[in-house]
Amino acid sequence: MSGLIGKKIGMTSVFSAEGKNIPCTVIEAGPCVVTQIRTIEKDGYNAVQLAYDDKKEKNTSKPMLGHFAKANTTPKHKLAEFEPFANETNLGDVFTADVILEDAWVDVTGISKGKGFQGVVKRHGFAGVGGQTHGQHNRLRHPGSLGASSWPSRVRKGMRMAGRTGGDQVKALNLKVLKVIPENNLILVKGSIPGAKGSYVIIEQ
């Protein structure tokens, strides 16, 4: 497979052969079940739908129960589509962490942590300790002037202001896979990835 669905376990660090301490993120990658195969003839494109993490039947709708029954598997929480590899894939096939190659480079997509309502210093990186000009002089973390007065006499669209922060889909690119532990379906990727502990992530090779 070109990727897997996983869950962020947390962060740790490992030592390289040169003795460097490398921060990394532990991801539980799979097992993922093939629940649908998209074809050009039927759907207009080729893809393989994977499902991950068991879910209670009572919390699953009847249409989705039928969908999972076709693949002869239990209901799952998370579904995602991936580009298929050249080898043949069938409904009900199971993919585990060993499809991710050690020392490979992957992209990881997740939902970033929600920060709630935040000001411009945290949300947009404003300096926050500006001088005595630009519309403010005694409020250190305020944004200052929002625009011209006589024209256009309004705040332009896209003005960077305070507001809800986080909770967005974020893709971290080109992360190196430091280690794969297939017996526990764990992979270690260098650096951090978006999301809180226990959140779902999409891993693409």
For the stretch 92-143, pLDDT in tens is 889 999 888 888 999 999 999 999 999 999 999 988 776 666 666 777 888 8
Q: Give the model's confidence band at 1: pLDDT under 50 very low, under 70 low, under 90 confident, else very high.
A: low
Mean pLDDT of the chain: 91
Count of residues for the chain? 205
Q: Give the model's confidence band at 44: pLDDT under 50 very low, under 70 low, under 90 confident, else very high.
A: very high
The answer to whether 47 touches 82, Cβ cutoff 8 Å, is: yes
The answer to whether 110 touches 6, Cβ cutoff 8 Å, is: no
Domains of the chain: 3-115+169-204 (2.40.30.10), 118-165 (no CATH)
**158-174 mean pLDDT:** 95
For the stretch 55-72, pLDDT in tens is 999 999 999 999 999 999
128 burial via Cβ count (<10 Å: 0-12, 13-18, 19+): middle
The answer to whether 119 touches 141, Cβ cutoff 8 Å, is: yes
